[in-house]
Amino acid sequence: MDWSPNPTREEFQRRLDASPAGSNLTLFPREFPGPVVVRRPLTLDGREAVVWAMRGPVVAVDSDGVVLRNLRIEVTGTTQEEGEEDEAAECALQVRNPGSVRLENVEVRGRVTGLAGEEGGWRYPLSLRLGQLSHGMEHRSILRLKVPVPSTLASRISGLRVAPRQLSPGLNEIELRIERMPQDTLIHGRLALETPRVRRSIMVAGQILPAENSSAGHPVTLDSLLWEPPPEAPPLEPPPDAAKILVRGQKLPVAQLTTADSVRVGLAASGGRHQVYDAFCFGVDEKGRLSDERYFVFYNQKASHDGTVSMGEKQGSDLETFHLNLSRLPPSIRKVIFAVGLDGSGSMARMSQGYLRLMDDTGEKARFPFSGSDFTMERAMIAGEIYRKGVWRLAAVGQGFREGIAVLLKHFGWEEG
């Protein structure tokens, strides 16, 4: 049976499941959506096809006797250029039965798990733009990569050399040397980052300027740094031993944690290259609506009109710290909701760590920790809430909203004026 012109993930998975043990399933050079699971012994010959998914694992091997050949497997929604590590999301190939798979001419974008000598996080650029290079001279630049296992780096570009070629686990500094090339030469190709079983690619592009324009543009200078892994997000302040750790959905009376009427709620979120997080809170009425915007506290309105809810001095690693006087909150406010949203591009899946915590004057009493593994493409989230039900109670929520802060607020009846 022929493949359909645009095979779906479901069709791909059905073909894998229907293939007899020991058979050869041949693809054709195009893109096939994943994730998929190989559940029986077979040879999957990609003929240079690409299997991709936004998050990993893209291809999972559950059977002995599997051969993967002439195939590219790519995680497209997260990237190893980021400073944070999410093993499941970054996994291109997962082998659940060690020793059960043979790889022949397989390229991955992402992690490989379950194979000895292949596991760990990779930090390298998917592409390098050299820009416009002056004519009539050699160019030398520096590239820094972080690899988890012994690897080799080889240039597949004529006139571009790399040293050293042998990389050790950890951070490696590599010199890229471009020899004198004729004017108007286009540099295009790849660097191959290889382990004994799989290959990764770094695409390289640049141009040697014509002689009359050699002083134009922004030529790469000697020893310029082309790329290095971004710094990892600093760890958040750990909770004290006495603090109660909450899980999503858990609720308990505030009085079980503190007898104070005035409490503080800290929100934290970090990680995701270039992601900017905003923390805010708002009060809702008995119908669950944000009917009084005077109780919407954020960077542009730092306190409610009566001072019962306010942004205070940030405590520890808090993104923001909110102060609440529970005894003075009016009866019309039945719940105070605490949320985090992204200012700009990104997704909560790229967040490395975050929390909501409850504090009084003696210290931290409870914490609800969360991370990017709890989300997918959401751009805002409700971390938790303090609400009245006979007494004030604390709830760990962790609910995400794909369309961001505006949709989160609209969910509670707020319309931006």
Q: Please write the tens of the pLDDT for every residue from 358-381.
A: 999 999 999 999 988 788 788 999
Same structural domain, 269 and 392 = yes
pLDDT digits (tens, 9 = 90+) for 79-103: 544 444 556 778 899 998 766 789 9
pLDDT-based confidence at residue 272 (cuts at 50, 70, 90): confident
Same structural domain, 256 and 299 = yes
Residues contacting residue 203 through CB under 8 Å, at least 6 positions apart: 126, 127, 128, 189, 190
pLDDT at 54: 86
In a domain, 237, yes or no: no
Span 125-137, mean pLDDT? Answer: 87
Span 384-403, mean pLDDT? Answer: 95
Residue 69 pLDDT exceeds 80: yes
In a domain, 236, yes or no: no
Same structural domain, 259 and 356 = yes
In a domain, 233, yes or no: no
Span 68-76, mean pLDDT? Answer: 94
pLDDT-based confidence at residue 216 (cuts at 50, 70, 90): very low
pLDDT at 87: 67
Beta bridge pairs of residue 60: 37, 94
Helices (runs of H) and strands (runs of E) counted in the chain: 2, 30
Residue 115 pLDDT exceeds 90: no
How many structural domains does the chain have? 3
Query: Is the separation of the CB atoms in 217 and 132 below 8 Å?
Result: yes
Q: Tell me what the pLDDT averaged over the chain comes to.
A: 89
How far is 48 from 11, CA to CA, in rounded Å?
A: 19
Give the CATH number of the domain where residue 266 resides. Answer: 2.60.60.30
In a domain, 232, yes or no: no
pLDDT at 239: 93
Same structural domain, 248 and 397 = yes
